Structure 1
Amino acid sequence: MTEGQQTISNKRIRAASIPPRVSLPEDLVNHVLLLLPARTLARFRCVCRSWNAHITSRGFQESHHALASSVALPLKFAFLPMAARGPCIKHFPGCRGCPRLVGTKPCRGVVLVERRCGGKFSVCNLSTGGVLHLPLPPRANFIDDVFHSAGIGFDASTGEYKVVNLRVNCTDKARCNVLTLSDDSTGDWRPLAAAAAADQFLPDCHVFVDKDVDPVFADGSLHWMFKTDGTRYDEPHGILSFSLADESFRRAPQPFFSTADLALLDYESADPQRSRVGFTSSGDSVIMPAGRALTELNGSLCIVRDVRRRNDVEGLFEIWKLQDYEAGSWSMDFIISLAGDIAEQLTKPWLVLPICYLGGSRRKIVLVTSARKVHVYDADTNDVHTVAASLTDDMVRKAEEPSEFVRFLLYQKSLVQLDGMEYDDREIQFVQMM
């Protein structure tokens, strides 16, 4: 065999030893990628340009979100501990609630975190650990503004997130500012058009937004509770909603019990909760029911009827769903009678918030409480089971301290990457359902 023939033979042997290149069908690759965690997909963007383009495409991210949004067992929860003991800033020496979650469910994988004493907000992606610190809203001070409230929502028409901040000052003048977030730009706070703010937000009377109830995103809008009189609790109450698509306000009445469940103030009570004390039109001192809340269940806006602490009625916890904005019609969606063994678990916490149903029959519901626990209530057996709890070293010292904020929220995978995000998930803990 000549030298040339030997070279050709060696090349054929080496070629035969190399396994043939296998190319998987694109639909199979797409299916596998959809099942991967967000952190893994973030790394896979570096594999090649085509994968980066595919993973960051709106179609893929919509499919990934839809798959991640399905409620399946085992559930996973994120937990946000309090900051270490001590004041956050010198003006608030008693502040121990920072940072706090705004709401109990992520908005398409991201959540709004507030440091209330400083008026600061951050947007966090629980999957990737991305944190975007937002600029201070306009006129963020402690003299001019009586209170402020902010929520985050998603504008499906543009694919952008929006943070909406409401502020009310001592003269009951309300201001609304919006901050638009996207994957390639982060704008500045901007006020609504003067006509929209004047004609829609305060059209014919003052609107006193309830600062103790977090806004909730549902049906393309952010929703706040409000009352039409700052001190008279038997005056009409309602829901103020802000559409993220056209940035307009509308109002709907709350259910009948918003003014019917008021309790006369007992001055001899050990815990009268004077911060919730108001008056009726006839001058009686009354207490607004504790634990009132808005929530989103199966895409619909719901309100919690909470009379757990009433002495004149049996403990009761109901969930009502808004059927129609224009008609202001509500229907009861779920009820829990707080009797027997479950009374202790669900009566002691200041807040009990429903976050999702389990199963198609909607006979089980997941409840998160300000006692740093998550429960599942079974309507068929009238039992409540603790499925998640957190007691870190810091939380053990504070376990007996009253809390008005929840620390758990439902975890949801997300590929969202907002411009300017830093990566730091040291404050967030993850707890899987027991």
Structure 2
Amino acid sequence: MNKQKQRRSITNASLSSLLPDELIIQILLRLPVRSLLRFKCVCKLWLSEISDPKFAKSQFDLAASPTHRLFLDFNDQFEIESLDIDEPESAAAVVNIPFCPPLSSPCSGARFEILGSCRGFVLLVTHLGYFHVWNPSTGFQRQIPLDARCTFKVYYSLYGIGYDQSTDDYLLVYITPSKNVRACEINSFSLKTNLPSRKRISDEILDTKFAFSMSVRQGMFFNGCLHWLVNSRGKDLFVILAFDLSKRSLLEIAVSNELALELADVKKLYTLRVMKECLALCCSDLGGVTVIWIMKEYKVKSSWTKMILSADVPSSSFFFPICFTKCGDVFGWNERERLLRLNDKGELLEDRALWKGKRTQKRDFVIYRYPELHRHMYTESLLSLHG
């Protein structure tokens, strides 16, 4: 025990003699999260600084190269299988991250579904009707019960978690259909004040713009808004619906004329993503021919740019892009539940099963029919919630 204390005091003294504490902290701010979690054990100073919420916020804002991880699936030990998309293929190992609600929680052992992510936090919902906000990097979690009268609508609502910079608050948002066909409810829950709010929209014009669908429940947080790809009743095609967190208002993101024509093709499958730090729409067709539309300037209709990717997959397969890596490769998956990595020419670089072993969790219809409900990106962070 004395040797350990002596070793720590020598480490502290040597660090202080080499570099001033202020410079050490500035270096730490620019390191990845996984390294910082290990470095908490170096000395008391580092433990204190890295554990400080102000340090976590500065680190998230200043990180030179944030780590983006891809959720693959829940395994039979109720762990989430996660992959660093920017690691080289030879080193890209799947990491199992345990999600462990307290044993006293009614959600212990429940089935979970991923509904979005924001600044390192992941939004989960259970079949029992509870939300969980979870930081996989630190293990932080908070359970939030759904409104009892909205629980039955869990599969027919739009969900998401976002950050309101104007109030420094995280909002859990879910939009539910009303019994009145011409109305819907926008529900939000402040994770800063622990207060819910509800806004009823009965505008007939808005109601004709979109229809709820089980496959589009995940909200993509980008540029202060949550986004969903929803079906327009009035236009009979898909449109991008956005919820502005600071203004608490709904709006429609305009698409280019050529993209609007593609969205009218019922034979194609569409997914909404954030790719290359932009909002992106992916249109998949049989044979692996995928068109990726990237909105290079947010809310500017003319900035939609088309990229055609011919994936090296069988002619009877779909390829669903998820994200770009820093080196320009594309991660995606097919309907056979396999994860594929392609280069910019569409050549297959990696092919692996999305999950291994036998599942013990009961998989309901929604997850079987829409496996993309578990294909979600998140950014590692040390952030925690207020209180």
What TM-score, normalized to structure 1?
Answer: 0.64
- Deviation, structure 1 residue 358: 2.6
Partner of 2:291: 318
Matched, 1:120 2:116: no
Matched residue, 2:277: 299
The 2-side partners of 1:222 and 1:228 are apart by 18
State the 1:207 CA deviation.
Answer: 3.0
Q: Counterparts in 2 of 1:12-411, with a 5 A limit?
A: 21=13, 23=16, 24-34=19-29, 35=31, 37=33, 40=37, 47=44, 52=48, 55-58=51-54, 60-66=55-61, 70=65, 76-81=69-74, 98-103=111-116, 106-115=117-126, 117-137=127-147, 139-142=149-152, 147-172=156-181, 173-182=183-192, 186-192=193-199, 197-198=201-202, 203=206, 205=208, 207-213=210-216, 214-229=218-233, 235-254=236-255, 255-263=259-267, 289-290=268-269, 292-308=270-286, 315-323=288-296, 328-329=301-302, 331-338=304-311, 342-344=312-314, 348=317, 352-359=320-327, 362=328, 364-368=329-333, 371-380=336-345, 382-386=347-351, 389-394=354-359, 402=368, 404-406=370-372, 407-410=374-377
- Give the letter aligned to residue 40 of structure 1: L
SS class of match (2:142)? strand
Please state how far the C-alpha of 1:168 moved relative to its aligned partner. 0.5
* Equivalent pair of 1:80/1:101 in contact (CA under 8 Å): no
1:167-206 Cα deviation digits (max 9, x unpaired): 0134322100111224xxx5132113x6xx456x954745
Deviation at 1:216, TM superposition (A): 0.9
The letter of the residue matching 1:412 is T
User: What is the CA deviation profile of residues 56-115 of structure 1, one whole-angstrom value per residue up to 9, with x for unaligned ones?
Assistant: 343x3244224657367xx75444416689xxxxxxxxxxx9422224xx4211111122
Cα distance between partner residues in 2 of 1:396 and 1:417: 29
Which one scores higher on RCO, CA 8 angstroms, separation ≥ 6? Answer: 1
User: Secondary structure of 1:178's partner?
Assistant: strand
Letter in 1 for 2:190: T
Asked whether the 8 Å contact 1:358–1:366 carries over to 2, the reply is no
- Pairwise CA distance, 1:416: 1.8
Residue 141 of structure 1 deviates from its aligned partner by: 3.9
1:257 deviates by 3.4
Whether the 8 Å CA contact 1:365–1:377 is kept in 2: the answer is yes
Q: Could you tell me how far apart the structure 2 residues matched to 1:387 and 1:146 are? A: 29
Deviations 1:347-374 (A, max 9, x none): 646x724223332xx4x22224565543
2 CA distance for matches of 1:326 and 1:79?
A: 31
Gap change, CA 1:83 and 1:98, over 3 Å in 2: farther
Structure with bigger gyration radius? 1
Code of the aligned partner of 1:386 = D
> How far apart, in 1, do the equivalents of 2:154 and 2:355 lie?
35
CA separation in 2, counterparts of 1:385 and 1:107?
Answer: 28
Task: Find the aligned partners of 2:386 and 2:370 in 1 and give their Cα distance.
Answer: 33
Q: Distance in 2 between matches of 1:177 and 1:397?
A: 29
Which residue identity does 2:74 align to in structure 1? P
Instruction: Give distance in 1, aligned partners of 2:191 and 2:64.
Output: 21
CA 1:107 to 1:45, structure 2 compared with 1: closer, same or farther past 3 Å? farther
Residue 337 of structure 1, CA deviation: 1.5
Scaled by the length of structure 2, the TM-score of the pair is 0.70
Alignment gaps of 5+ in structure 2: 1-8, 79-109
Task: Give the 3-state SS of the residue equivalent to 2:176 in structure 1.
Answer: strand
Corresponding pairs, count? 333
CA distance in 2 between counterparts of 1:367 and 1:66 reads 28
**Matches of 1:55 and 1:416, distance apart in 2:** 10
In the aligned structure 1, how far is the partner of 2:309 from the partner of 2:155?
Answer: 36
**What are the superposed Cα offsets for residues 360-417 of structure 1, whole Å, 9 maximum, x if unpaired?**
xx4x22224565543221123633423674303328999xx95522435445321122
Runs of 4+ in 1 over 6 A off after TM superposition: 395-398
Q: State the identity %.
A: 21
Q: Which residue of structure 1 lines up, in the alignment, with residue 84 of structure 2?
A: none
Q: Identify unmatched segments of 5+ residues in structure 1.
A: 1-17, 86-96, 264-288, 309-313, 421-434
Counterpart position of 2:5: none
Between the aligned partners of 2:25 and 2:264, the Cα distance in structure 1 is 54
Question: What secondary structure sits across from 1:415 in the alignment?
Answer: coil
CA distance in 2, matches of 1:390, 1:109: 23
Which residue of the partner structure matches residue 89 of structure 1? none
Q: Say if 2:161 and 2:170, in contact at 8 Å, map to a contact too.
A: yes
SS of residue matched to 1:208: coil
